[in-house]
Amino acid sequence: MNLTELLLSSCLLTVSIPSTEPVNSTSFTVLDLSSNPLNSELPDWLVNVSTLVHVDLSYFNLYGRIPLGFSELPNLQYFNLAGNNNLSNGFSEEIPPNLSDLSSLQVLDLAENNLTGRIPGSLGDLQAMAQEQIVIQYLLYYEENLMITAKRQLQLFTKALSLVTSLDLSGSNLSGDFPEELTKLSGLVVLNLSRNHISGKIPENISSLHQLSSLDLSSNNLLGSIPPTLSSLSFIGYLNLSNDDFSGTIPYAEHLTTYNASSFFGNPALCGPPLNVKCQDEDSDSQMEEEVSIKITIMEMNKK
């Protein structure tokens, strides 16, 4: 049998993936076994199927580890292992830095696992994510994708599929500083690092991600000021910086004025609009300015 696509999403499958290669896979491109109540290991043989383009094993109760050889699939564009909390049994360690060798990868979704350690800076070298996208087309696809996913329809997974360049590492146990190297992925449309323990600052040059349409950094331990450069990212339709440790005045200008307080809640030391919290410094600054100008006026009056 010359299998090219295997689409068995949400089929209540109860058999595991065979541990030896079941097919002659010279043209096997799509494997989608997502949302099945299985317990299976991620089989090693998959790493030898160099024709694979699309692998979705999300919500599959996977356990074991990601075989390192996965980094050697030259055609892989879509790799989704989200929602396999059981990966912690072996893979809990860290995100394999070698994933950065997947030179065609446009979508990496490892959300809702129990990944630990820092986000490897090498992910900034994911070649296909560093390429500029034709944005309009991709935004449309993103909306469509959300809709279709909601309906759980299979036609999403066709070979004609165009991809929204996205990196989702949310809902895990990742720590360490915000990896500055990610700013090199200038084709990224969606970045979700929410619900981890990521600390450090948002780098000034986050503005290099000028195609971002969705940025979710909520529920981490990020600190420092929100860089004013963020307001130049004019494509962002969704921004969430809430439940972090940001401080100082929100650089509420340009594109940032399109967001309301719910994008910034839960940062006790953050102030200024759209939050209903006055900035201490600002007050004393303007008070000082007033005092100075009064003094100048008095001096000028005295001269006369």
Ligand X SMILES: *[C@@H]1O[C@H](CO)[C@@H](O)[C@H](O)[C@H]1NC(C)=O
Judged by CB, which is closer to ligand X: 269, or 298? 269
**Amino acid letter, 210:** H
For tokens 């005092």, name the residue.
291
Distance CA 259, CA 279 (A): 19
Structure tokens at 216: 């979710």
Contact 249, 227 (CB under 8 A): no
* Cβ 136 to ligand X shortest distance, Å: 20
**Amino acid letter, 102:** L
Contact 58, 149 (CB under 8 A): no
Judged by CB, which is closer to ligand X: 10, or 92? 92
Report the run of H or E that residue 192 belongs to, with start and end.
Answer: strand 190-192
Cβ burial 137-158 (10 Å sphere, 16+ → b, else e): ebbebbeebeeeeeeeeeebbe
* Cβ 115 to ligand X shortest distance, Å: 9
Judged by CB, which is closer to ligand X: 77, or 116? 116
Closest CA to 86 of 62, 121, 57, 58: 62
Distance CA 256, CA 159 (A): 37
* Cβ 303 to ligand X shortest distance, Å: 52
Judged by CB, which is closer to ligand X: 19, or 287? 19
Residue sitting closest to ligand X (CB) = 170
Judged by CB, which is closer to ligand X: 133, or 194? 194
**DSSP letter at 118?**
B
The CA-atom distances, in angstroms, between 177 and each of 104, 241, 257 are 26, 15, 27
Judged by CB, which is closer to ligand X: 80, or 285? 80
Report the interface residues with ligand X, using CB under 6 A.
2, 21, 24, 26, 39, 44-45, 48, 61, 63, 68, 85-86, 88, 92, 98, 111-112, 114, 116, 170-171, 173, 180-181, 183-184, 192, 194-195, 203, 205, 208, 214, 216, 218-219, 238, 240, 242-243, 260, 262-263
Q: Give the contacts of 226 (CB within 8 A, at least 6 positions apart).
A: 202, 241, 246, 248, 250, 251, 270
Judged by CB, which is closer to ligand X: 51, or 162? 51
* Cβ 44 to ligand X shortest distance, Å: 4
Judged by CB, which is closer to ligand X: 19, or 293? 19
Distance CA 247, CA 223 (A): 7
Residue 211, by phi and psi: left (phi above 0), alpha (psi -120 to 50) or beta?
A: alpha
